[in-house]
Structure 1
Amino acid sequence: MGVTESYSRGRELAAGNPLALVFGLLVVLLVFDLVGKLASGSIQISSVAVLIKDGLARGLVIGLAGIGLSMTYSILNFANFAHGDYITAGAFSGWATTYLVAGGFGSSANVGSLLLVGAGGSVFGGALGISVTTTPFAVIGGMLVAGVGTVALALIIDRLVFEPVRDRSGITLLITSIGVAFALRYGIQFVFGPAKRGTTAAGAVPSVSVPAVDGTVSISAHDATLVVVAGGLMLGVHLLLQRTRLGKAMRAMADNEDLARVTGIPTERVVQFTWVIGGGLTGIAGYVFVLWKGTLGWFDGWILLLLIFAAVILGGIGSIYGAIVGGLVIGLTASMSVIWIPSSFSRAAAFLAMILILIVKPTGLFSGRATS
């Protein structure tokens, strides 16, 4: 492609979508500003590396939870607003198990306090010495219970609430899911209490210092655990969708449910597996998110839900891989934005990035390719 042709195509793109040109210029200006800040020493390379590390970790959680939301949309064709509270429910059930296992031996805390994850300050994760290295069985057990518990919750709610209204309009399902969300959220608050509590012994988590040009970047065992768990589960979902009969059935149903039913695909069974896979991923995402950040609150899932929706929309509604990539983009944007704006506006920056990218590519990064 010659220079003249490239210039002509660039001019046509700018004329057809001037906002895309503005977005591109904004990105270039931010990159130049960042380079200037690094050159002047007003910000260190190691500080930027830490922001990138945190953004990737947060993005992996958003992407992992986003897979479940995207699968629900592509298979069942409705936006499940209770998804964030599935995250919270999975986190609390998993951490109740972790507290019980970690505090079951040699702890003065009673079983009730442990199962309520130290409600009212009755027991603290730091006092129990909880971490992936000091209490590995408690953490692994909690992670498994978080996944299994959320699967059970999703299946029960589907059978009792969503299945009776599944054949109605999408708005009926959406409003129903909002009702489920409020019921779960305030039920969790009633049982476990409204206070945010620390869950891990921060000083007991080993870390490795990776050298940077002007300092070091600390990578803890919990950082590594999040990456391994999220990355492994994402790879598992990819293999399931591409290599198994269930995955092919799910993709067929996402493309055309009526045709899938006519060809003999057991659609109701596919729906059940959708809740199983999506619920399991969502519960584990909630658990490892708490393990990574070290605190647990009844409002965590709702806060994450907004970012998850942003990631799913950005990646292309219904696309599994779009949810993953969208999660990484949202996570990195929210983290890196603190270089230019106060941290309290970081979520707003993530949504702004979503809006700007959708202006350039309205169908999303993966063009809404369902479950593929």
Structure 2
Amino acid sequence: MGIAETYSRGRRFAVDRPGALILAFVGVLLLGDLLVGLATGQTALSDVGSLVWDGLMRGLVIGLAGIGLSMTYSILNFANFAHGDFITAGAFSGWATTYVLAGLGRADIGALVLVGAGGSVFGGTLGIGITGTPLAVIAGLLVAGAFTIVLSLAVDRAIFRPIRDEDGITLLITSIGVAFALRYMMQFVFGSNVRGTTAQPPSFAVYLLDGAVRINMHDLTLVVVAGGLMLGVHLLLQRTKLGKAMRAMADNEDLARVTGIPTERVVRSVWVIGGGLTGVAGYMFVLWKGTLGFNDGWLLLLLIFAAVILGGIGSIYGAIAGGLVIGLTASLSVLWIPSAFARAAAFVVMIVILLVKPSGLFSGRSTA
């Protein structure tokens, strides 16, 4: 290849894909600044390692929650804005269970059921954690998933199913109404205060050149639970008849119905799987960060949407990959900008990547 041909190809690429050049230029600038900071000692390698680990944890939560949202869009063809409040509902149901099991006989049962509303009881006082009260945490995790499944099926049966044949805008607006109803119902029952839910978990240090990255047992629990469930979803989609039916319905619902696929059963399965993963994601999010509030899911929802769009709308694997990218961006961005703008940085990265690959990282591949 001659110099002239190389120049011609480079020029065509610059004209056709300006977003790629912008992304590459910004990436080189940020990487260069980071390397200079590490070389001069202005930035500690251990600080970067801690931010990377924090971003991975955040990304696992976003990716796990994003699977349910992506499945809903892929199979039912609407963006479910109530998804964030399903996350919160799962978290409250699971943590109410954990509080009751961990604090039974040690605190008022009403305060335990309401997850210490108004500061009536604290998770730290009860010693709640994966090492201190493992059975209570595991039970709470299971209840969070089960409750969100029941809630998802009930909302679908009572609200979404009667209007399922309407256009996507009607379903979207309806889901916003469901979201507000659920959110303020939870605020009415559990209160609006943000409460601490766990005791300080044991941790260990991973030593780098100039310091250490602290990893605690709740981090590892999140890795095991999220990683196991993501692997389970992969096996479900690729190795089971239900997974094949879901992929077929995502590709062409009318053809799937004609070929004898029980579409209504597939829809129920979507709510069961998506709801279960959503509830578990909500519970694990609270276990990881150690606090719980009535609008946690709503605050997380925008990042989940960003991850799903970035990964490719309708792609399960795209939601996972997008979640990791968004989580890492939100954490690492504090190296260059104030932490108050970290969420904005995640959306900027999403926009820039979409300029390069408009269909998303996984090219919008439905379901799988």
Give TM-score scaled by structure 1 length.
0.97
- Aligned residue type for 1:232: G
Matches within 5 A, 1:243-322: 243-322=239-318
| Residues 1-372 of structure 1: pairs in structure 2 closer than 5 A | 6-105=6-105, 107=106, 109-202=107-200, 205-372=201-368
SS at 2:367 equivalent: coil
Query: Which whole-Å CA distance do the structure 2 matches of 1:255 and 1:31 have between them?
Result: 40
Deviates more, 1:12-21 or 1:182-191: 12-21
Shift in Å, 1:146:
0.3
Give 1:24 shift. 1.0
**Number of residue-to-residue matches in the alignment:** 368
> C-alpha displacement at 1:2, in angstroms?
7.2
- Equivalents in 2 of 1:95, 1:12: separation in Å? 56
How much has 1:5 moved relative to structure 2? 5.2
Alignment-mate amino acid for residue 240 of structure 1 = L
Counterpart-to-counterpart distance in 2, 1:319 and 1:29 = 31
Instruction: Give the distance between the partners of 1:138 and 1:2, measured in 2 at CA.
Output: 68
* Cα distance change on mapping 1:233 and 1:4 into 2, 3 Å: farther
Letter in 2 for 1:330: I
SS of the aligned residue for 1:27 comes to helix
Q: CA-to-partner distance for each residue in 1:116-160, whole Å, 9 max, x for gaps?
A: 000010000001000100100000000000000000000000000
CA distance, structure 2, for counterparts of residue 4 and residue 247 of structure 1: 50
- Give CA-to-partner distance per residue, 1:46-73, whole Å, 9 cap, x none: 0000000000000000000000000000
What is the identity percentage for the equivalent residue pairs of Structure 1 and Structure 2? 73
Q: TM-score, normalised by structure 2?
A: 0.98
Cα deviation, residue 12, structure 1: 1.5
Q: Which amino acid aligns with 1:199?
A: T
CA distance in 2, matches of 1:10, 1:307: 35
Q: Counterpart of 2:166 in structure 1: which amino acid?
A: R
Unaligned runs of 5+ in 2: none
Tell me the CA shift for residue 15 of structure 1: 1.3
| Structure 1: 5+ residue stretches without partners | none
The secondary structure found in structure 1 opposite 2:261 is coil
One-letter amino acid of the structure 1 residue matched with residue 239 of structure 2 = R
SS of residue matched to 2:213? strand
Deviation at 1:110, TM superposition (A): 1.1
Amino acid at match of 1:355: I
Secondary structure of the equivalent of 1:356?
helix
Kindly state the Cα deviation for residue 95 of structure 1 after the two structures are TM-superposed: 0.2
Q: Secondary structure at the match of 1:191?
A: helix
Cα drift, residue 17 of structure 1? 2.2
For 2:259 and 2:266, the matched residues in 1 are separated by: 14
Q: Deviations over 1:17-64 (max 9, x none)?
A: 223212210011000000011111111000000000000000000000
SS at match of 2:57: helix
Residue 4 (structure 1) shift:
6.1
- The separation in 1 between residues aligned to 2:133 and 2:82, in whole angstroms, is 31
Once the 2 structures are TM-superposed, how far is the Cα of residue 93 of structure 1 from its aligned partner?
A: 0.3
